[in-house]
Structure formats: C-alpha cells, structure tokens
C-alpha cells in the first residue's frame, strides 16, 4: 500500500476546518442557529482560544498543510471599516505558529458565513456584497501576504447558494428561489474575479500567490436506470449545481482569474422516487442498508468518482488542482480508513495519468459543528468530546493512519 500512496515532491498533505465550525465565539448568521441535534456553534471546539494546541495536533499528525478560514465577521464590524487589529493579530499568530510547525496555510476567505451587516443588507443577493467583499480583501491580503500564498476565495458557492435559497437548510432558509440562487452565484463569481485581481496585485513576500475556489463536486444519478423522473432530476441537479456554477467562475476568459481549482469531493447522490438516497438528504440508514447503498453518515461513497472528476477538470481547464476537502463521517473507524485509502488511491492514479494535483486536505482536523446537523457527524482526525465541558481532543485511528500516510510521503519528498 505504501508504494501506491506516495505523492510527488512538494505535494501538500493537509487537513481543513472552517471558522464557524471550530472557532466558537463568532457573531454571524449562525450564532443563534440551533441545529437538528440541538447544538449551536457558540463554543464549537473553542479553537478560537485553543489554536496553539490544535497546531500541535496537526504537528503530531505530520501534515504539511492546513486549509483554514479567516472569519470576515471578526475583522470588519461595519461596511468599509478598518480591520480589527486585535482579531487580525490572533490570525497572524496562528499563521506564525503554523510556519514554525512547517505547515503551509491555504486561507479561505468565505466559508458559509458573513458579517451581520452583510446579512442585514440582503446578503449575497444584494450586489453591494461584491464591492464590500473586495474592500475586505483589499485590506486583508496585504497584511498577510508574507505569510500566505494559497488563497481560496470562496468555499463551495454552489452549496452555500443552494442551501440558503433552494433547499432551505442555511439561514435565511428560503426554498426554491431559483432566481436568488443564480444571483448569489453570479455575485460570488464577480467577487472572485475582482478579489483575484487584488490578490495578484498585492503580490507576495516570496512566491507568486495562487488563487482559486473550492467547488463541491457531487455526482447525481437515478437509483433505477429507467426511472425517467429520477434521471431528469439528476440531470437538472447536475446542471444547476455543477455546470452552471463552473460556467460562472470559469467560462471563457473568467478562467484566467484563477490559478488553481479546488475540489471538495464526498461522493454521489442518487434519486429514488425523486428523493436522494443519502443520509444528508434525510434517508434513513435502515432504508439505505436495504438498498445496498454504501455511505458514510452523509453521502453515498463513490471513490472512483474522484479520479473521474480530477481527470475531467484537468482536461477541461488545464489548471492545477487541489482536493480541498474529502473525508467521511462514521462511528466505524475502519470504514473511514478504507474510505480514505480508496480516495487517496484514486488521487494517486489520476496523478500517474498526468493530472496536475498538488494537494489533499482531509475534512476535518477536528470533530466539529456540522451546520444543520450540529455535532452528530464525526469527521475529525482528532475527535472532540462535546459532552465534556473541557472539550478534550483525542487522536483517532483514522488520524494515526493519516499520520502514516504523511510520514511515507515525507520519505519521498525529503
């Protein structure tokens, strides 16, 4: 196995989190939100105060990269306001600790959350969000440019826009507002274009900045081959969530705004009687077991799809690729280890075929606040016991396994 799972020189083997899910003490549209399990994000993993310890966990894992968010709502309390220095310094300290641990940061600028004044102004439905985001970027990027060269402007614009305006899962919980969905994607694509110019012109202390988005990629299908309605729904989903979004961000000359494309890959959603047969879509585990669907606590697994999407993106856009997220949530750690192995094999296979993939970020470093599902989904390489007020961390067997992968990869690179 070790032979198969070696990666090229300078390959980033990392892990990922997002501010609302781990930091705690955030004031954004999630602060008052109560998830299906009764959980809320007010404390989360308290990474806000415990980041030094969490960097140590990363060092123990042996990862050489960390995809982390910077929370806009912490830094700008009003439109076009100067950045909050104290909060900025906290992030700078985190970045410095990562540097000491030889961990390369990839910074995400938008991960499903906004400052309250953006929300009050209509969120991303309003064209005003675009210049506000560009202003924030213009103030933030020069302060970090000596510490950060990998910039991920938007995390999964597709997931964000669909859960806010189509599926009703994220605040403001609207359903089937197709025009709103499209508008949000268009505004985010516009903001990405403009922010990418800002990042480019800010330059970087040592190396040229890299700029990209993280696109969620889900395969859609029909559970029964000849179920026409299910096929139609799969086709519409593919067009809406995949094709339309890629066109907005990468169509024509827009592609030039990005120097890489990030892929968040979890798997497959197949429809049966117009319902997705995945736990994240509400299907019951017993029903899925009966249907023979292999899934984690969220999506149907489809490791081969990772190779397919990487090859397809490589052919289509010719950009360097990062797997900006992949992981599995399950109580069964052997299942998670098998899942990780299968996906890394696919990634390695794609690289062998000439795909320029430069990194893999396991979702997630810690068990955390999984949006609508609260604390019920265990994605962490390091587990967190949320029933204990001290939020103790513990290395999982998946973490031990990933450490082995990181160590093996290192033998090649150094």
For the segment 212-251, give every residue that binds ligand FCB (CB under 6 A): 216
Smallest gap, in angstroms, from Cβ of residue 365 to ligand FCB? 12
Quote the CA–CA distance of 414 and 403 in Å, as a whole number.
Answer: 16
Quote the CA–CA distance of 198 and 106 in Å, as a whole number.
Answer: 17
- Between 18 and 396, whose beta carbon lies closer to ligand FCB? 18
Residue in this structure with the two tokens 């690729």, named with its chain if needed: 321
Smallest gap, in angstroms, from Cβ of residue 373 to ligand FCB? 9
- Between 124 and 379, whose beta carbon lies closer to ligand FCB? 379
> Which span (50-58, 95-103, 154-162, 229-237) binds ligand FCB, by CB under 6 A?
154-162
CB 83 within 8 A of CB 89: no
Query: Of these, 51, 136, 271, 363, which contacts ligand FCB (CB under 6 A)?
Result: 363
Q: Which residues of 90-109 are buried (b: 16+ CB within 10 A; e: fewer)?
A: bbeebbebbeeeebbbbbbb
- Between 156 and 210, whose beta carbon lies closer to ligand FCB? 156
> Which span (81-89, 155-163, 218-226, 401-409) binds ligand FCB, by CB under 6 A?
155-163
Quote the CA–CA distance of 209 and 232 in Å, as a whole number.
Answer: 41
Query: Of these, 7, 11, 14, 18, which contacts ligand FCB (CB under 6 A)?
Result: 18
CB 379 within 8 A of CB 368: yes
Closest CA to 191 of 114, 117, 116, 243: 114
Residue 277 found at the interface with ligand FCB (CB under 6 A): no
Closest CA to 405 of 354, 343, 322, 316: 343
- Between 73 and 204, whose beta carbon lies closer to ligand FCB? 73
- Between 344 and 351, whose beta carbon lies closer to ligand FCB? 344
Quote the CA–CA distance of 111 and 328 in Å, as a whole number.
Answer: 19
CB 102 within 8 A of CB 64: yes
Instruction: Tell me how far apart the 2 most distant CA atoms of the chain are, in Å.
Output: 59
CB 14 within 8 A of CB 63: yes
Choose, from 23, 156, 190, 300, the residue flagged as catalytic. Answer: 156
- Between 204 and 383, whose beta carbon lies closer to ligand FCB? 383
CB atoms within 10 A of CB 41: 27
Residue 371 found at the interface with ligand FCB (CB under 6 A): yes
- Between 83 and 294, whose beta carbon lies closer to ligand FCB? 294
Query: Of these, 58, 370, 378, 402, which contacts ligand FCB (CB under 6 A)?
Result: 370
- Between 190 and 370, whose beta carbon lies closer to ligand FCB? 370
**CA angle, 163 then 262 then 404, to 5°:** 110
Closest CA to 370 of 181, 112, 119, 164: 112
Q: Which two tokens stand for residue 180?
A: 């709103």
CB 375 within 8 A of CB 369: yes
Residue 367 found at the interface with ligand FCB (CB under 6 A): no
Smallest gap, in angstroms, from Cβ of residue 33 to ligand FCB? 14
Q: What backbone torsions phi and psi does residue 20 show, to the nearest 5 degrees?
A: -60, -30
For the segment 158-177, give every residue that binds ligand FCB (CB under 6 A): 159
Q: Please work out the total of residues on this chain that contact ligand FCB, with binding judged by CB under 6 A.
A: 12
> Which span (82-90, 166-174, 363-371, 398-406) binds ligand FCB, by CB under 6 A?
363-371
Residues pairing with 16 in the sheet: 67, 363
Smallest gap, in angstroms, from Cβ of residue 241 to ligand FCB? 12
Query: Of these, 15, 114, 155, 383, which contacts ligand FCB (CB under 6 A)?
Result: 155
For the segment 305-344, give every residue that binds ligand FCB (CB under 6 A): 325
346 in active site? no
Smallest gap, in angstroms, from Cβ of residue 379 to ligand FCB? 6
Instruction: Label the pairing between strands 357-363 and 65-69.
Output: unpaired
> Which span (152-160, 162-170, 177-185, 396-404) binds ligand FCB, by CB under 6 A?
152-160
Q: Which chain residues interact with ligand FCB by CB under 6 A?
A: 18, 21, 155-156, 159, 216, 264, 325, 363, 370-371, 379
Enumerate the active-site residues. 156
């Amino acid at each position: 196995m070790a032979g198969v799972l070696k990666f090229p020189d300078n390959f980033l083997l990392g892990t990922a989190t997002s501010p609302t899910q781990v930091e705690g003490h955030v004031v954004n549209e999630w602060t008052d939100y109560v998830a299906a399990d009764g959980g809320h994000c007010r404390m989360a993993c308290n990474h806000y105060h415990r980041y030094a310890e969490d960097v140590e966990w990363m060092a123990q894992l042996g990862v050489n990269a960390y995809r982390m968010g910077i929370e806009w709502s912490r830094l700008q309390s009003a439109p076009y306001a100067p950045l909050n220095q104290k909060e900025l310094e906290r992030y700078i300290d985190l970045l410095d600790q990562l540097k000491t641990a030889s961990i390369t940061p990839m910074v995400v600028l938008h991960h499903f959350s906004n400052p309250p004044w953006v929300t009050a102004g209509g969120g991303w439905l309003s064209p005003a969000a675009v210049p506000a985001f560009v202003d924030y970027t213009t103030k933030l990027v020069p302060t970090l440019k000596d510490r950060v060269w990998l910039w991920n402007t938007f995390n999964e614009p597709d997931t964000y826009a669909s859960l806010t305006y189509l599926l009703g899962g994220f605040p403001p919980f609207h359903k089937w507002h197709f025009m709103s969905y499209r508008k949000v994607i268009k505004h985010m694509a516009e903001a990405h274009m403009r922010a990418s110019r800002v990042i480019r012109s800010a330059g970087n202390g040592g190396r040229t900045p890299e700029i990209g988005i993280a696109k969620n990629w889900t395969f859609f299908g029909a559970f029964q081959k000849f179920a026409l309605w299910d096929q139609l729904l799969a086709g519409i989903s593919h067009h809406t969530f995949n094709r339309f979004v890629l066109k907005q961000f990468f169509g024509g000359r827009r592609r030039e705004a990005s120097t890489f494309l990030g892929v968040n890959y979890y798997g497959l959603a197949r429809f049966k009687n117009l319902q997705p047969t995945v736990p994240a879509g509400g299907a019951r585990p017993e029903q899925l077991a009966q249907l023979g669907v292999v899934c984690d606590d969220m999506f149907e697994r489809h490791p081969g799809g990772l190779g397919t999407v990487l090859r397809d993106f490589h052919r289509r856009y010719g950009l360097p690729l990062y797997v900006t997220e992949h992981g599995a949530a399950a109580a069964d750690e052997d299942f998670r280890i098998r899942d990780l192995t299968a996906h890394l094999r696919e990634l390695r296979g794609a690289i062998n075929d000439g795909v320029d993939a430069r990194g893999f970020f396991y979702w997630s470093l810690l068990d955390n606040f999984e949006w609508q599902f609260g604390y019920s989904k265990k994605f962490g390489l390091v587990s967190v016991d949320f029933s204990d007020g001290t939020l103790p961390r513990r290395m999982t067997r998946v973490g031990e396994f990933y450490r082995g992968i990181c160590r093996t990869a290192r033998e090649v690179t150094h």
